[in-house]
Amino acid sequence: MVASYSIGHPDLDGDHDRMVAAWRELEASRTLEAAKAAASRLMAEASGHFAREEQFMAQCGYPDLARHKALHMEMAAALRHVLLLPLLGKGGHEDFVLAMRSLMIKWVMAHILGEDSKLAPYVRAQAGSTRRAATGRR
Ligand SMILES: [Fe+2]
Ligand SMILES: [Fe+2]
């Protein structure tokens, strides 16, 4: 995990890493087929991740869950839209990579850094209460 976007939760950080790795694969692709395969993996990773992250937020009583969920839905819709472009014959490999890049930059910058980062104090609080439960301390 890149320290700058780590929220301190191993599973959620791992999800973010895998999504970024799929994006890097997409950026390194040489053909539209390879780019589409990387984008499909990214979409699958994102769907699983959004569900896990929302489950964590519900568990720890995150107050902004509804808005965060709506942002995930928007992001998934934008991803589906970009994934459809090559199927509709709109643009080639380069256009697809550019469309995915602008979506991922918006996602990485605006969402992980601006929104997911707000979960870090809840991750720390949960880790603290787990430790206290394990040691029997209050
Ligand atoms: Fe999120
Ligand atoms: Fe996330």
pLDDT tens readout for residues 16-69: 999 999 999 999 999 999 999 999 999 999 999 999 999 999 999 999 999 999
With respect to residue 3, please indicate whether it lies within any of the assigned structural domains: no
Give the pTM.
0.89
In the reported structure, the alpha carbon of residue 35 is separated from the centroid of ligand 2 by a whole-number distance in angstroms of: 22
Domain count across the chain:
1
- Structure confidence by residue, pLDDT tens digits, 101-134: 999 988 766 899 999 999 999 999 988 777 777 7
Tell me how far CA of residue 34 lies from CA of 7, 19, 23, 37, in angstroms: 31, 16, 12, 5
Coil vs helix vs strand at 92? coil
pLDDT value for 115: 95
Q: Which range marks the domain in which residue 68 is found?
A: 9-135
| Per-residue model confidence (pLDDT) at position 110 | 80
Ligand number, closest to the Cα atom of 72: 1
Ligand 2 is a single-atom ion; what residues have CB below 5 A from it? 53, 116
Q: Is residue 4 part of a domain?
A: no
Q: Using the mean position of ligand 1's atoms as its centre, give its distance from the Cα of residue 2 in Å.
A: 16
**Can you give the CATH number for the domain in which 126 is found?**
1.20.120.50
Classify residue 2: in a domain, yes or no: no
Q: CB–CB of 32/93 below 8 Å?
A: yes
